[in-house]
Chains A and B, each alone.
Chain A
Amino acid sequence: MQIIDYPQIGEKLYSAVLPNGLEIRVVPKKDFATYYAAFATNYGGAHRRFSVDGRELDTPAGVAHFLEHKMFDMPNGDNALTVLTENGADPNAFTSSGMTCYYFQCTDKFEENLRMLLHFVSTPWFTEETVKKEQGIIGQEIRMGEDNPGIAIYYNLLELLYEHHPIRDRVAGTVESISEITAQTLYDCHKVFYAPSNMVLCVEGDVEPEDIVRIASEELSEELAPVPKANFGEAESLLPVSNLRRVQMEVSAPQFLIGAKLPSSRGGVESMRERITATLALRMLCGSSSTFYTRLYAEGLLNPSFDYEVDLSADTVTVILGGESKNPDKVLEEFNKEVKRIVAEGFDPGLFMRSKRASHGARLRGLEDFENVCVSLASGVFEGYCALDSFDILEAVELEDCRLFVQNNLSPERLAMSVIEPRK
């Protein structure tokens, strides 16, 4: 196994690739009772069209998420969720646009639970009957999402920004699209995307890294399957499709999200550097200690719900910021002014130094969270970087990089705003 030591943050990362292509990452933690394991596939809601072995395939929206639900059914009639829970673990799964991740946390019988995790995720078992039943359950989940302003405002923004990239599609699909899913769709997609060569296993806890490699080799197929290639369509222009969308919902105050799409991810350490630079620039531009935020907060235009992020998913990079405001248009206007000022004047060097410190502290805090560590490691593997390098990369970001990020990506014509207003 390859060992990378990170003495400045007190962690060691063990990495290995099995002959079947599975990437393994282990962060041993002495003195902790908790074990955490995440088994993830580079397959999410956006992977609808793909090619494998020279075949082109097109699938309905919502298959990755549907699969996630159905993976827990086992051929012997058991449910993996039940089995793991009976064994004292706390298992769950999530599907995002870019990945599907199965995970559990436990304090006891880690090896048994890990074997179970690897086993059930690599053992498909679907029947027309169980698929039909799940259409009812997921239909409810989709309906629940329809009443959720947070989900609506997010997808409205993505639809404003992206013309055709499948990141626009709801991860869960629609009631109509999931009605097209059959057991065979699930078997096909499982075979393509759940091969070890397309997956990663991340473990954190008081474990011996070599044991993880051994267990994974014993539980998984030895075959090295071809890695599917997703087709996200033509590259998109950097301009949004449209700049503004307002809808009314049952909310108490207007909610808004402002977004910009960035050039698609180049992958590797470069994409991580870009993301860290962008996040640092946003911290200085509109973070909790920025002039922009504190002034608008004091004026009553923003409140603590305001947040920002740089989201890397399925080759897309999207800047998203927003929250609640009685006047989103005014916020956007002020944001544009601030961007203009920064482009002209640059960031204050004192602010830059303090923001780096604050970001270092926030990243350290992130290391306390096993789920955060394992999931970041997994997405890092899919994107081609190592999440624990973020401390060094942050240190190397330069002041001018941040100004350039703002200049190159946040001008008014690049922005779109999604607003949800209270019903009149």
Chain B
Amino acid sequence: MEYTRKELMPGVFLTHLRSDKFKTACMSVNLLTQLQRETAAMNALIPQVLRRGTARYGDMEQLSRRMDELYGTAIEPTIRRIGEIQCLGFFASFPEEEYLPSGEKLLSEAAALMAELLLAPNTRGGLLLPDYVESEKEKLLDLIRSRVNEKRGYALSRCIEEMCCFEDFSVSRFGTEDEAENIHYKKLTKHYRKLLQSSPVELFYCGKSEYKQVQSVLKDAFAAMPRGEIDYDIGTDVRMNAVEDRVRYVEEEMDVTQGKLVMGFRMGECMDEPDIPAIYVFNAIYGSGANSKLFMNVREKLSLCYYASSLVLIKKGLMLVSSGIEFDKFDEAKNEIFAQLEAVKNGEFSPEELETAKRSVSSELRSAMDSQGELEGFWLSQALEGLEYGPMELAELVEDVTRDDVMAIARSIEPDLIYFLKGLEEEETDDADN
């Protein structure tokens, strides 16, 4: 796979991966902006509103009709939070010409449509249509409220919210309910125009077309992109230590049959100059995957739960351990999760565990080369930090991780907040049969 990266226009960068092995090509555009409570909901709303209609294809039916014509070219809004950077835009995927009965080349049509979605919305008097804004606002509010439907994800996001209550990271990629409710179409249009002018922009392409062709197609498509002073001053504030000396505890009651325990940790001083491969390997040993200490002990050995796993949010320097347990197993599960972290700190893992973890991390990285979606995410994340090494290079670095590297990561980690979602306190009721 050939990698090329260049600045096409002021603040507009193209990452190009040439590959012959896929049936479809993919392309994305992302505006990068600082995640903040005040603007997050507006940012999240923008691609959704833009997806409602463009100057040429005024509503969703016409847009979808156009995409169907282009052999199911899919151009969908994306909204991501990578560290404390919010990335909003579109992800497009379309068939390579040789697999189409007509042999049609879709690159320029797909690029033109993606650019039109971003740059030329359906407007009246220069303003986004109030109807579209209101309707998407309702959907965004539904989406924000719907996080409660899936309890495991809900508990994770609640833990982050509480743990990072003094940081922008407490805001989800969709923003908050209060801010979303206050969005007005005029304000949103103004914000949209400002973002177009000032955001750094990341373009991504992966497919059969050569760099030269892709850059010329994209330059044409995005020629109308307004560019003012670019706001490069965006980034993630990594807090090294727990907020209080004592581990904070938050619990919440809901009508559920299974408890959800989430333990939030700070990665600590290792985030000074993060050894990314070592952090990945640590996480694999401790809590991700079927051979990790959490899975083997909390689930398999002690049958305390159905799942127990750790998740590292590397850009923000957080680790979250999440587990589904019976309500009365809280202490037992919590103690075991701490005990297993202690074990990694003390180097209580076999050479086989280390090797297994390294193999699984490197295999995951290498298989990312076979998925355009993974590649897009990987390279966007790299672009945010100005890093130019690919998944294969990272996989090689994983080979060099030592036992001491892993222990150093474990020792650097400290617990910050424990969140527990439990059932409603049972009321004393008489059994009807008695």
Nearest Cβ in chain A — how far from B168, in angstroms?
24
Instruction: Pick out which of these stretches binds chain B: A20-28, A42-50, A157-165, A250-258.
Output: A250-258
CA distance A133 to B360 in the complex (A): 28
Q: Which of B69, B143, B145, B366 touches A357 (beta carbons < 8 Å)?
A: B69
Residues of the A chain whose Cβ atoms lie less than 8 Å from the Cβ of B289:
85, 90
Closest to A288 in B: B64
B306 x A250 contact (CB < 8 A): no
Contacts of B367 in A (CB 8 A): 33-34, 105, 107
Cβ-defined contact, A361 with B94, below 8 A? yes
* A368 touching B72, Cβ below 8 Å: no
CA distance A133 to B304 in the complex (A): 11
Question: Does chain B have a CB within 8 A of A91?
Answer: yes
Shortest distance between the CB of A299 and any CB in chain B (Å): 8
Query: Please, could you name 14 A-B residue pairs with CB atoms under 8 Å apart, sorted by A?
Result: A10-B23, A85-B290, A107-B363, A107-B367, A140-B305, A140-B324, A144-B324, A148-B150, A354-B68, A354-B69, A361-B73, A362-B74, A364-B23, A365-B23
Does chain A have a CB within 8 A of B181?
Answer: no
| Residue from the list B71, B143, B290 in contact with A361, Cβ < 8 A | B71
Inter-subunit contact A358/B24 (CB<8 Å): no
Beta-carbon contact of A149 and B135 below 8 Å: no
Which stretch in B7-15, B227-235, B369-377 binds the other chain?
B369-377
- Assess whether A108 is in contact with B363, with CB atoms less than 8 Å apart: yes
- Among B20, B143, B372, the residue within 8 A (CB) of A31 is B20
Cα–Cα distance between A91 and B56 once the two chains are bound (Å): 48
- Distance of A122 from chain B, by nearest CB (Å): 21
B64 touches A88 (CB 8 A): no
Contact call A357/B370, Cβ cutoff below 8 A = no
| CB-nearest residue of chain B to A81 | B290
A33 near B68: Cβ-Cβ < 8 Å: no
Q: Is B18 an interface residue (CB 8 A)?
A: no
Do A85 and B291 have beta carbons less than 8 Å apart?
yes
Closest B residue by C-beta to A87:
B359
CA–CA, A140 and B303, complex, Å: 9
Q: Give B130-146 as 1s and 0s: 1 = Cβ < 8 Å from A's Cβ atoms.
A: 00000100110011011
Kindly list chain A residues whose C-beta atoms are within 8 Å of the C-beta of B258: 140, 143-144, 146-147
With a cutoff of 8 Å between Cβ atoms, the chain B residues found around residue A251 in the complex are: 146, 148-149
Closest Cβ neighbor of A350 among chain B residues: B65
Among A81, A289, A294, A355, max chain B CB count under 10 A is at A289
For residue B216, CB closer than 8 A to chain A, the reply is no
Contacts of A357 in B (CB 8 A): 68-72
Report the minimal beta-carbon distance from B310 to chain A, rounded to whole angstroms.
Answer: 16
The 4 closest A-B pairs by CB, nearest first: A361-B72, A289-B64, A358-B72, A88-B359
Stretch at the interface among B95-103, B237-245, B313-321: B95-103
How many whole Å from B359's CB to the nearest CB in chain A? Answer: 4
Q: Is the CB of B359 within 8 A of A423?
A: no
- State the CA gap A274–B334 with chains docked (Å): 52
**A residues less than 8 Å from B99 (CB atoms):** 8-10, 364
- Interface residue? A411 (CB, 8 A): no
In the complex, which residues 112-171 of chain B have their Cβ closer than 8 Å to any Cβ of chain A? 135, 138-139, 142-143, 145-151
**Residues of B277-295 contacting chain A, CB below 8 A:** 289-291
Whether A147 pairs with B257 at a CB distance below 8 angstroms is: yes
Q: Which residues of B contact A (CB under 8 A)?
A: 20-24, 59-61, 64-65, 67-74, 93-95, 98-101, 135, 138-139, 142-143, 145-151, 254-258, 289-291, 296, 299-300, 303, 305-306, 324, 326, 352, 355-356, 359-360, 362-364, 366-367, 369-372
Q: Is the CB of A133 within 8 A of B303?
A: yes
- Would A358 and B71 count as touching, CB distance under 8 A? yes
Q: Is the CB of B72 within 8 A of A144?
A: no
Indicate if the CB atoms of A423 and B145 lie closer than 8 Å: no
Which among B95, B305, B324 is the interface contact of A364 at CB below 8 angstroms?
A: B95
- With most chain B CB atoms within 10 A of its CB, the pick from A81, A105, A252, A423 is A252
Neighbouring B residues of A9 by C-beta, 8 Å: 23, 99
A242 within 8 Å of B (CB atoms) = no
**Closest CB-CB distance, B205 to chain A, in whole Å?**
16
Q: Which residues of A contact B363 (CB under 8 A)?
A: 88-90, 106-108
A367 at the interface (CB under 8 A from B): yes
With A91-B290, A360-B72 in contact, do A365 and B360 touch (Cβ < 8 Å)? no
Q: Does A137 belong to the interface (CB within 8 Å)?
A: yes
Known: A105-B367, A365-B93. A294 touches B64 (CB 8 A): yes
A34/B72 in contact, CB under 8 A: no
**Is B359 within 8 A of A362, CB to CB?**
no
Q: Which residue of A lies closest to B284 (CB)?
A: A85
Residue-wise, chain A 65-101 has the 8 Å CB interface mask toward B (1 for contact) of 0000000000000010110011111110000000000
With contacts A9-B99, A32-B21, A133-B303 known, is A358 near B142, CB below 8 A? Answer: no
Give the B-binding residues of A (Cβ under 8 A).
Answer: 8-10, 29-34, 79, 81-82, 85-91, 105-108, 133, 136-137, 140-141, 143-144, 146-149, 250-253, 255, 288-289, 291, 294-295, 297-298, 300, 303-304, 324, 354-355, 357-362, 364-365, 367-368, 370, 395, 423
Complex alpha-carbon distance, A252 and B148, angstroms:
7
- A298-B303 contact given A358-B68, A368-B372, CB 8 Å threshold: no
Output the least CB separation between A322 and chain B (Å): 14
Contact A354 B65 (CB under 8 A): yes
Please measure, in the bound complex, the distance between the C-alpha atom of A111 and the C-alpha atom of B359, giving whole angstroms: 16
What is the distance, in angstroms, from B393's C-beta to the closest C-beta of chain A?
14
Cα(A10)–Cα(B22), bound, Å: 10
Give 6 new A-B contacts, CB below 8 A, not counting A143-B258, A147-B257, A361-B95. A9-B99, A107-B367, A252-B145, A358-B67, A362-B74, A368-B23
With contacts A86-B356, A252-B146, A361-B94 taken as known, whether A33 is within 8 angstroms of B366 at the C-beta atoms is: yes
Which of B22, B60, B69, B360 makes the CB contact (< 8 A) with A294? B60
CB distance from A360 to the nearest CB of B (A): 6
Contact, CB under 8 Å: A324 / B65: no
Closest chain-B Cβ to A138's Cβ sits at a distance in Å of 9
Neighbouring A residues of B146 by C-beta, 8 Å: 251-253, 324
Instruction: Provide the bound-state CA to CA distance between A58 and B93, in Å.
Output: 48
Q: Give min CB distance, B374 to chain A, whole Å.
A: 11
> Which residue from A81, A85, A136, A143 sits with its C-beta under 8 Å from B257?
A143
Please give, as numbers and ranges, the residues of chain A lying within 8 Å of B64 by CB-CB distance: 288-289, 294
List the A side residues contacting B366 at CB < 8 Å.
Answer: 33-34, 107
Nearest-neighbor residue (CB-CB) of B93 within chain A: A365
Chain B residue at minimal CB-CB distance from A108? B363
Q: Quick check: A298 and B59 within 8 Å, CB to CB?
A: yes
Task: Identify the closest chain B residue to A79 (Cβ).
Answer: B300
Which residue on B lies nearest to A138, using beta carbons?
A: B306
Known: A86-B352, A367-B23, A368-B22. A252 touches B142 (CB 8 A): yes
CA of A107 to CA of B95 in the docked complex: distance in angstroms?
Answer: 26
B105 to chain A, nearest CB (A): 14
A144 & B24 in contact (Cβ 8 Å cutoff): no
State the CA gap A354–B74 with chains docked (Å). Answer: 14
Please indicate the chain A residues that have their CB under 8 angstroms from the CB of B23 in the complex: 9-10, 364-365, 367-368
> A362: which of B60, B72, B142 is its contact (CB, 8 Å)?
B72
Task: State in angstroms the CA–CA spacing of A105 and B72 once bound together.
Answer: 28
Q: Which residues of B contact A368 (CB under 8 A)?
A: 22-24, 371-372
CB nearest to B106 among chain A residues: A361
Contact B98 A10 (CB under 8 A): yes
Q: What is the chain A residue whose CB lies nearest that of B24?
A: A365
Name which of B65, B70, B135 has the most chain A CB atoms within 10 A of its CB: B65
Q: Which residue of A lies closest to B73 (CB)?
A: A361
